[in-house]
Chains A and B, each alone.
Chain A
Amino acid sequence: MELHTDERLSAASTGCSSSQAEGASVSHLLPKDVQQQIARHPCYSKQAHKYARMHLPVAPACNIQCNYCNRKYDCSNESRPGVVSHLVDPHGALKQFRAIKKRAPNLTVVGIAGPGDALANPKATFSALKLIREEDPTAQLCISTNGLMLAEYADELAAHGVHHLTITINTIDPVIAAKIYPWVYYNHRRLRGLAAAERLIANQLAGLEAAAKLGMLVKVNTVLIPGINDQQIATLSAAVKARGALMHNIMPLISAAEHGTYFGVTGQRGPTEAELSSARDASGQFMPQMTHCQQCRADAVGTLGGGCGTEAASETSQPIKIAVATNGGPLINTHFGHAQQFEIYQLDSATTEFHFLERRQVAQYCNGASECPEEEADKQAMFKAIEDCRMVLCSRIGIAPWRTLEQMGITPNVDHAFAPIDEALATLAKTQLAPKADSHKESNDEVCHY
């Protein structure tokens, strides 16, 4: 329980929301060798928030249905697991990795988390893992799975160098599982009800045990669903711990009606902060808790919401960020008004270099998740996507958005049009070092949500 005390102390002293709690408490319960192994993995260690991770969206198919997921995942204005804008094949994934790695030396982790299930797409998953491993043997490979096919593929995962594994296990009680999973596809049949639930749980636990025996660091994710699985968290935690799980990540259910999920449509609510923390307490008797999960998209790239970390609390000035309008290429050749995404770079004050922080999809920032954005909302979304940045680089920009940006305290910059992004940033790093004492305060809240 000292874990929980730490949490409150840290939350009180930083004044940041509870979603960003205190990784220190996580790691001091772990053996030292394990701590070293997760030290550069932002999804395991809160201290690793300087390091970036990249999810390769190569696994579209899924073999189970969860009541908190809508398989019509093509909604780029949502940010939650299972949602992704563009699928890539393994060679496309390698290309993306190369492009990001070049500009983000802090990229340490490459994972496959969907948008379906990594192990329901074994060919694409293993081929992507192999290509990345050949390209960069130091990259830490990780996989996220529902566990249905894990026992079958555990050896192959280990052989491909996968060391970090996340299994989503919501319960070990088939009666509860039947309320969460309407069906699973296994051994060429669609199983339903209790048969589906029993099969899934048996395979998850067998897979967990196999992976742990192979030396993988296994994190268990649990979606906390009030009235459904919230009373069985201690049982679940004890059971997965006994089979070799390393830590537990209990996440709140996301069930907005407009997502069109079963839980969303039927009005199943998510947990309150108190319910979430009580579930984490219950599990904390058995296992270290991970509490800084951002429930990111299957194509997420970057660090886990930079401004929320302990570092932000200790620094007096806000970090300097620059947005680059981009279509994914290495050059600054995108018109501001045509940008579908921005790459965000942050100045590292120690090395005085810009480091890649994250990629932001413009559509994610539109207001009103249920409607497709009108032209006006589109423009608003662009400004909102980069509102915490000091400058935006693009190839060209209209006079109206130029003025709007200036009013927001963001400097539009077309001086580096058609130049390589990394060269432009190197030049700017030399001129952006004096922090302006002013104006643009970054909202920690905004970063936390993302």
Chain B
Amino acid sequence: MKYAITDKCVGCHACLLVCPSNAVFADPDNPKQFMIHPRRCTGCEDKFADPQCASICPVEEAIVNESAMAVNPLGSLTGIELRREC
């Protein structure tokens, strides 16, 4: 397992569409929560320079690496540091 999806996921399908390993799937109990199959995920190492899910994901802190660090930390995608909830 290289990458995982946190509960910040909004279920927008973007990662599922670009994953070259078909490792992304929707939680059967919650279609707005996507998950990465730990054994299928290769981290895209053999295929692309960057992990594809984390390169298209629009939500900060939704994808974490093996050390549980957010690949896209707060503010890195939207430029918004202070979050306000919808």
Contacts and interface: CB of A to CB of B under 8 A. Distances in A.
Interface of A: 60-63, 65, 67, 70-75, 87, 116, 120-121, 123, 182-183, 185, 188-190, 257-260, 262, 265-266
A75 B12 contact: no
Nearest to B20: A188
A61 B55 CA distance: 13
A415 to B, nearest CB: 38
Nearest to B15: A61
A200 B85 CA distance: 29
Interface string B56-86: 1011000000000000000001111011111
A183 B14 contact: no
23 contacts: A60-B12, A60-B13, A60-B14, A61-B12, A61-B13, A61-B17, A62-B12, A65-B58, A65-B78, A71-B10, A74-B32, A74-B86, A116-B13, A182-B77, A182-B79, A183-B77, A188-B52, A188-B55, A190-B55, A260-B84, A260-B86, A262-B80, A265-B80
- Among B12, B52, B55, B82: residue with most chain A CB under 10 A: B12
A65 to B, nearest CB: 6
Given A65-B77, A260-B83, 9 more contacts: A65-B58, A65-B78, A67-B79, A74-B32, A116-B13, A120-B14, A188-B48, A265-B80, A265-B84
Nearest to B44: A188
B interface, over-half SS: loop
Contacts of B48: 188
A62 B80 contact: no
A258 B55 contact: no
A145 to B, nearest CB: 15
Contacts of A60: 11-14
A320 B36 CA distance: 52
Contacts, number: 79
Contacts of B10: 71-74
A70 B83 CA distance: 11
Contacts of B79: 67, 182, 262
A171 B24 CA distance: 35
- Among A75, A123, A189, A257: residue with most chain B CB under 10 A: A189
A34 B77 CA distance: 41
B81 to A, nearest CB: 9
Contact of B86 (A65, A72, A188): A72
A60 B58 CA distance: 12
A417 B82 CA distance: 50
A72 to B, nearest CB: 5
A63 B14 contact: yes
A260 B77 CA distance: 13
A260 B58 CA distance: 14
A52 to B, nearest CB: 27
A120 B55 CA distance: 14
Contacts of A75: 86
Nearest to A191: B55
Interface string B34-66: 000000000000001110100110110000000
B77 A121 contact: no
A363 to B, nearest CB: 13
A61 B14 contact: yes
Nearest to A123: B17
A75 B11 CA distance: 14
Contacts of A189: 49-50, 55
Nearest to B8: A72
Nearest to A257: B84
A208 to B, nearest CB: 24
Contact of B82 (A72, A73, A116, A265): A265
B78 A182 contact: yes
Contacts of B11: 60
A189 B16 CA distance: 16
A128 B83 CA distance: 36
B86 A121 contact: no
Contacts of A70: 86
Contacts of A183: 77
Contacts of A116: 12-14
Given A65-B78, A71-B58, A260-B86, A188 B14 contact: no
Contact of A188 (B32, B49, B83): B49
- Among A60, A67, A188: residue with most chain B CB under 10 A: A188
